[in-house]
Structure formats: C-alpha cells, structure tokens
Structure 1
C-alpha cells in the first residue's frame, strides 16, 4: 500500500526514512490560519491541524495510508508557532528562559479503513540565558521554521536543563513509537 507523508517538513521526512519506509511527501495545502483563529485548546489545535493535513492529501489518494502531523508550543496560555524571523525567534526564546513550556506534537494516520490520531506532550525547562547567548544560538541553528524557535537535534539541546517526554522522537516532529503502532494497525509491514 502506498504511504504518503502529508508534509513538506524535511525533519519529518528524515524521521520516516529512519524507519526504513518507502513513502512520498506531498504538500497538504491547509490554510492553518483559519483553524488557529477557531479558539481550540493547544492540544486540540495540533490534533485538528494534523488531521486536516492528512485529510487533504487522503482526498486525492483514497487508497493510500496518509500521515499528517503538526507541532506547536504551549507557553503561559499562548501558542507559539514557527518564528519566521531571527528577531521573533530571539523574542520567543527570551520569553521562555528559566521557565517550562509544553511541546505538543500531533499525528494523524488515515487509510481506507482507518482514522487514528495521537498527541504527545513533552515538558521542557529552558535554562536562564542572556540575550547574547540566545542570539548566538539563533544565528547558528537558524530555527526559523521550528515551533518554539529551537532545534533539539542540533545545538538547541544546550538551551534546556530538563526534558520530560515519553517519546523523545516527538520533539523532532513525529512520535515514532506511536506512529509505528498506528502503521501496524493500518496493515503496514515494517522492514
């Protein structure tokens, strides 16, 4: 059965390659801004976005198994997404220093006879850092397309003093432990 990743994220694609799966990636072309303004809780928003991305691609590929995903940061009753600019990345990181936030990673798996979602929550406590250290980090890692403005798989790990997660792979974009279970349920034969 054809497997499709409803994402253009190079991070999510790399994670699927780690599993040894053959897949193709397609842009789900979902207008996230409409859903972000709908007033969902952070957990529900991530789940709805992951599901909508999978649905968009599944409509064009009804015989495939489609994986959609979304990730956001919940911090002090605010949802932080991708910063887009270095300045915004520095602002996000400065606001979180010395504090704990939640990285919410949602996936949806759709197939001809399957609709499943999973939400992973990771608690991260950031170190207290000065603006110079944060600016140097942003300059090095360029985390402009990463929720929360950091890449833990690179130098972003130095920003944190504690990480509490049931599946560390979720931090990169897909909780692989849950995804593996959902793919087996969908009938995908893993290598």
Structure 2
C-alpha cells in the first residue's frame, strides 16, 4: 500500500498518474524551518517530517513539500492579500525557483530528493496583480500563485518539470518508487 502524507488535492491528482492505489494520511507536524536553511534543504526537511509519522510498517509513505524561492528567500503561502500583492510584485519580471522535496519511506529505509524548476514571470502591471488576487487563488499557494490555474497567465517561461511547480515531480517520483521497492 502507498500512503500519501499530504492533503494537497493537487498532489493527490498527480499521484494518480503513477497509481490509484493509495490512501491519504496527514499528521499535524511543526513546519518551522531552521534558521538559514536553503530552499532545497527546506523541502527535503519538510517532506521528511511529513512522511516520518507513517513510516512504521511495510507501507510505502510519500511525503512532499514545495517552496518558491527568489534571491535565496523562501516565499511561503501569503496570509493576507497585501502579502500576496508583495510576493507577486517581487516575482514580477523575474525568474525564480520552485523546489519540491519528496521523501519515500517505510520502517526499514528512507530516501529523499529535491527537484528544482525555474519559472519566469512577465512584467506584471498593478492591474494584472489585482485581478489575479481577486480570483482568490494566491491565498493557499506557495509564492502566491498556482501555475495550474489563473496563475498560468503570469508565467512567461518555465525550465524544468511543470508538475514539480504544481507540487509533485511525477516522472522522477515514478522512477524513484521503482528503485525503492
């Protein structure tokens, strides 16, 4: 049995490309990051602590976390519309990184990996930012945007795995699952 340690509907949908035989389990973990941690190390750390509570048997557990980073700064999920506005202005016209960390574990072993995708935004006008914020989409997304929704209108280019930006690097995960078994 595969356990996805994530309540993200996007990750659940993406995992179905690999298997439909999985269940969702989520525990309340403290996602506070150590000071000075790099974005790639942050997603490895977070994916690991999400998987760990369920890695106590033969079941294969998948934990994942995604962050958006620019200039070494991790942009989390905005708590207010003003935070979303600031993040989108920060990303406007610039290329940033999206990192997803994945941990695959059971009681006997564990492996983690991180995938980076580069995303470049168009130069955004204040009106474009306000219209996007009005959709409500930025409020539950790392970096205040979802590439799979209205946020796609902000993206000029992408280098790397599109699904990684959505929240799960499907092709890399599929290969890692084969070698994990």
**TM-score greater than 0.5 by the shorter chain:** yes
Q: Report if the CA contact (8 A) 2:137-2:150 is conserved.
A: no
Q: Report if the CA contact (8 A) 2:78-2:144 is conserved.
A: yes
1:186 Cα deviation (Å)? 2.7
Q: Calculate the aligned-residue CA RMSD, in Å.
A: 1.5
Q: Report if the CA contact (8 A) 1:28-1:54 is conserved.
A: no
Q: Report if the CA contact (8 A) 1:30-1:56 is conserved.
A: no
Q: Deviations over 1:116-139 (max 9, x none)?
A: 112111111111111121111122
Write out the 4+ residue segments of structure 1 that deviate beyond 4 Å after TM superposition.
Answer: none
TM-score normalised by length of structure 2 = 0.93
TM-score normalised by length of structure 1 = 0.89
CA distance, structure 2, for counterparts of residue 131 and residue 184 of structure 1: 46
How many residue pairs match? The answer is 181
Q: Deviations over 1:75-103 (max 9, x none)?
A: 11211111133221121001110111111
* Residue 14 in structure 1 maps to residue 8 in structure 2: no
Unaligned runs of 5+ in 1: none
Alignment equivalent of 2:172, drawn from 167, 172, 178: 178
Q: Report if the CA contact (8 A) 1:7-1:27 is conserved.
A: yes
Give the SS at the match of 2:138.
coil
Aligned to 1:118: 113
Q: Report if the CA contact (8 A) 1:141-1:154 is conserved.
A: no
1:23 Cα deviation (Å)? 0.8
Q: Report if the CA contact (8 A) 2:17-2:170 is conserved.
A: no
1:141 Cα deviation (Å)? 5.0
CA distance, structure 1, for counterparts of residue 60 and residue 26 of structure 2: 15
